[in-house]
């Protein structure tokens, strides 16, 4: 029997309409690329999103066409989030930190018809332009006064907005239609496109609002320190509109000083970012003991994208009284997969025990199923000890890559292999041990490079650490620890090994410690271990 409920489609346009109608005066504060701070509210954001949607229609853009952005966290980029998807086209947020060759590849692969870009990327776009096969319209995201020289024939964003009125009934279509596209940074091979739907995006937003999710609500003022080009800024633009949270957009400035000043000035209650952003933020606080930290009102900080070292979680608690929610996910999971909230039975634990739990990647949330399997795809126990290949499935998990790249990515039961190795405990806490290709296999056992790195960064003289496995004649592989020391710190390898000896099993201790000036990162801030393995392939352990 078919139900008798309304089949209103879950469309992204409904989010901005809801925010404009029910939270019209809630602000979006944006630091734009020219350094100016712009304040607008959801009613104005909706109006400008509708105008840009109408401008796209006037330019001949149709439902399903791809529209690219090369842009920072600004109100104009947010307007495109709603304007482009709302009118039925697909918003392709390009990561400007990729190599120019990769940017060219993905814009051509996506067949983007329009490219919106910030003035910061004028030079990059001028170089890319002759190589773009499908992109016939270029729009600079600025006003007439700031149009960069040499790109006079590009369209100007504010002109497009000024030419339209905001009367628009957003088109209605099936919620399963594509809304946005993000390419995985892919450390090997070409990047692959993940194509999100209106439905997957709206369902994902409900989870971010949920109390056992990221608890986003109309009481929040969110400092968005994760870029809008990094997996839809973890869904926060949509989530904020769903619940009417105030949003603070830092533009291109993600350094400690800029984040501190914005958070203090706007009274931010929540922020999200990768561990590197928080390392920079904490370093800024350390270097400036004169700062009045009582100006910060952070209640919780979401860390994801790479493992959040326990040392960061502890320091955010000690310095700011902020609760760190660790989240695990990937482009293919929209990205929320697991979220690190504790359960009532953990209330009685000591702070030390709670930190240990929060350093895990978090618990399963409704909508994402997880399991771990052995090499033959047989499920392994959820005992918190056994490690296996992490598989996921759910309504906001990818079913395939754009244009079928990479072939079938699901097994017969619909599970997607994440490429991560993890354990899961009885209560659904997931702990990522490694990327499967980064696991160190020593004497038939596994050593977690993530655990070793987290232990090493707890040393007061260590700024950043990476552990890679190198071939070993007796043990097959052994760990090498690479350390970036804090400026001016007097520390040697023996100090660090002595520090680690109290924190990890004896046989996990790295066979050597090498100090380096810096470590290589991917475009989304992850350690590039393949490059490190290449760089140190001729390294020989002393014993």
Name the residues that contact ligand AMP, by CB under 6 A.
184-185, 231, 304-308, 326-331, 335, 361, 418-420, 432, 435, 524
Q: Residue 226 or 262: which CB sits closer to ligand AMP?
A: 226
Of the chain, the end-to-end C-alpha distance in Å amounts to 72
Annotated catalytic residue: which of 14, 184, 201, 324? 184
Point out the residue whose Cβ comes nearest to ligand AMP.
Answer: 330
Q: How far apart are CA 417 and CA 115, in angstroms?
A: 32
Q: CB within 8 A of 233, min separation 6: which ones?
A: 73, 224, 226, 227, 272
Spatial CB neighbours of 84, under 8 Å, sequence gap ≥ 6: 52, 53, 56, 67, 90, 91
Q: Is 522 part of the annotated catalytic residue set?
A: no
Options 133, 385, 437, 441, the catalytic residue = 441
Give strand pairing partners of 41.
27
Minimum distance between the CB of residue 333 and ligand AMP, rounded to whole angstroms?
8
Looking at 257, 373, 446, 477, which residue is catalytic? Answer: 446
420: which strand partners?
435
CB of 295 to ligand AMP, least distance (A): 28
Q: In angstroms, what is the minimal distance from the CB of 517 to ligand AMP?
A: 25
Residues 6+ apart with CB under 8 A from 505: none
Contact 411, 201 (CB under 8 A): no
Decide whether 207 or 331 has the Cβ nearer to ligand AMP: 331
Query: Each residue of 93-120: b (16+ CB within 10 Å) or e?
Result: bbbbbbeeebbbbbbebbebbbbbbbbb
d(CA 489, CA 510): 21
Closest distance of CB 98 from ligand AMP, Å? 11
- Closer residue to ligand AMP in complex, CB, 83/227: 227
- CB nearer to ligand AMP: give 249 or 307: 307
Least Å from the CB of residue 309 to ligand AMP: 10
Longest dimension (CA), the chain: 74
C-alpha span between 252 and 236 (Å, rounded):
17
Nearest residue (CB) to ligand AMP, 29 versus 392? 392
* DSSP state for residue 341 in the 8-state scheme: P
- Nearest distance, CB of residue 360 and ligand AMP, angstroms: 9
Smallest gap from Cβ 336 to ligand AMP, in A, equals: 10
Q: Which residue lies nearer to ligand AMP by CB, 53 or 307?
A: 307
- Name, in order, each residue with C-beta under 8 angstroms of 448's C-beta and a sequence gap of 6 or more: 433, 434, 439, 440, 508
Query: Tokens at residue 502, please?
Result: 């109290």
DSSP assignment, residue 527?
B
DSSP letter at 81?
H
Only one residue has tokens 């960061």, namely 312
Instruction: Please tell me whether the peptide bond between 335 and the residue prior to it is cis, using omega within 30 degrees of 0.
Output: yes
Residue closer to ligand AMP, measured from CB, 435 or 459: 435
- Cβ nearer to ligand AMP, comparing 32 with 306: 306
Where b means 16+ CB within 10 Å and e means fewer, 396-424 reads bbbebbbeeeeeebeeeeebbbbebbbbb
456 touches 462 (CB < 8 A)? yes
Question: For residue 223, what are the CA distances in angstroms to 74, 284, 311?
Answer: 12, 17, 22
133 counts as catalytic: no
User: CA-to-CA distance for 118 and 513, rounded, in angstroms?
Assistant: 42
Per-state percent for the chain, helix, strand, coil, to nearest 5: 35, 25, 40
Instruction: Tell me how far, at minimum, the Cβ of 127 lies from ligand AMP, in Å.
Output: 25
C-alpha–C-alpha distance, residues 247 and 483, integer Å: 36
- Smallest gap, in angstroms, from Cβ of residue 294 to ligand AMP? 29
Residue number, 256 or 335, with CB nearest to ligand AMP: 335
* Contact between residue 316 and residue 282 where contact means Cβ atoms under 8 Å apart: yes
Nearer to ligand AMP, 80 or 422 (CB): 422
Minimum CB–partner distance for residue 539 and ligand AMP (Å)? 25
Residue 475 is among the residues annotated as catalytic for this protein: no
Q: Active-site residue among 17, 332, 453, 464?
A: 332
Q: Which residues are catalytic?
A: 184, 332, 441, 446
């Amino acid at each position: 029997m078919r139900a008798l409920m309304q089949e209103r489609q879950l469309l992204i346009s409904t989010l901005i309409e809801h925010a404009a109608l029910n939270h019209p005066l809630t602000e979006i504060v944006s630091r734009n690329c020219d350094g100016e701070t712009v304040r607008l509210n959801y009613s104005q954001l909706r109006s400008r999103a509708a105008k840009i949607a109408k401008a796209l229609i006037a330019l001949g853009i149709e439902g399903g066409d791809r529209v690219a952005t090369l842009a920072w966290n600004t109100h104009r980029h947010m307007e495109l989030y709603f304007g482009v998807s709302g009118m039925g086209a697909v918003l392709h947020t390009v990561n400007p930190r990729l190599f120019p060759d990769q940017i060219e590849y993905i814009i051509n692969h996506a067949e983007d018809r329009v490219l919106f870009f910030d003035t910061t990327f004028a030079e990059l776009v001028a170089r890319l332009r002759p190589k773009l096969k499908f992109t016939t319209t270029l729009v600079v995201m600025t006003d007439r006064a700031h149009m960069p020289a040499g790109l006079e024939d590009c369209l100007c964003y504010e002109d497009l907005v000024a030419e339209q009125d905001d009367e628009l009934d957003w088109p209605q279509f099936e919620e399963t239609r594509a809304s946005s596209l993000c390419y995985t940074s892919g450390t090997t091979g070409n990047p692959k496109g993940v194509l999100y739907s209106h439905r997957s995006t709206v369902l994902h937003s409900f989870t971010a609002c949920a109390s056992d999710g990221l608890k986003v609500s109309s009481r929040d003022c969110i400092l968005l320190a994760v870029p809008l080009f990094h997996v839809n800024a973890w869904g926060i633009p949509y989530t904020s509109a769903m619940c009417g949270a105030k949003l603070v957009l830092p533009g291109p400035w993600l350094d400690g000083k800029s984040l501190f000043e914005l958070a203090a000035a706007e009274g931010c209650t929540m922020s999200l970012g990768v561990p590197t952003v928080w390392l920079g933020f904490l370093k800024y606080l350390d270097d400036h003991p004169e700062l009045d930290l009582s100006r910060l009102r952070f209640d919780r900080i979401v860390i994801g994208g790479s493992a959040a070292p326990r040392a960061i979680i502890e320091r955010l608690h000690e310095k700011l009284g902020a609760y760190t929610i660790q989240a695990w996910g990937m482009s293919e999971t929209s990205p929320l997969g697991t979220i690190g909230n504790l359960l009532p039975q953990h209330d009685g634990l000591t702070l030390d025990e709670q930190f240990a739990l929060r350093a895990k990647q978090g618990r399963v949330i409704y909508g994402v199923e997880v399991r771990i399997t052995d090499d033959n795809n047989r499920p392994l126990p959820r005992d918190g000890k056994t490690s296996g290949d992490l598989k996921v499935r759910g309504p906001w998990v990818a079913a395939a890559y754009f244009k079928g790249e990479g072939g079938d990515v699901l097994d017969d039961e619909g599970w997607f292999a994440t490429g991560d190795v993890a354990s899961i405990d009885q209560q659904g806490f997931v702990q990522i041990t490694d990327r499967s290709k980064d696991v160190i296999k020593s004497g038939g056992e596994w050593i977690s490079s993530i655990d070793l790195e987290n232990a090493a960064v707890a040393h007061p003289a260590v700024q950043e650490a990476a552990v890679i496995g190198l071939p070993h004649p007796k043990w097959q592989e052994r760990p090498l620890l690479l350390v970036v020391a804090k400026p001016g710190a007097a520390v040697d390898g023996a100090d660090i090994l002595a520090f680690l000896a109290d924190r990890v099993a004896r046989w996990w201790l790295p066979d050597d410690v090498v100090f380096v000036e810096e470590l290589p990162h991917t475009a989304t801030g992850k350690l590039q271990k393949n490059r490190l393995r290449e760089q140190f392939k001729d390294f020989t352990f002393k014993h």
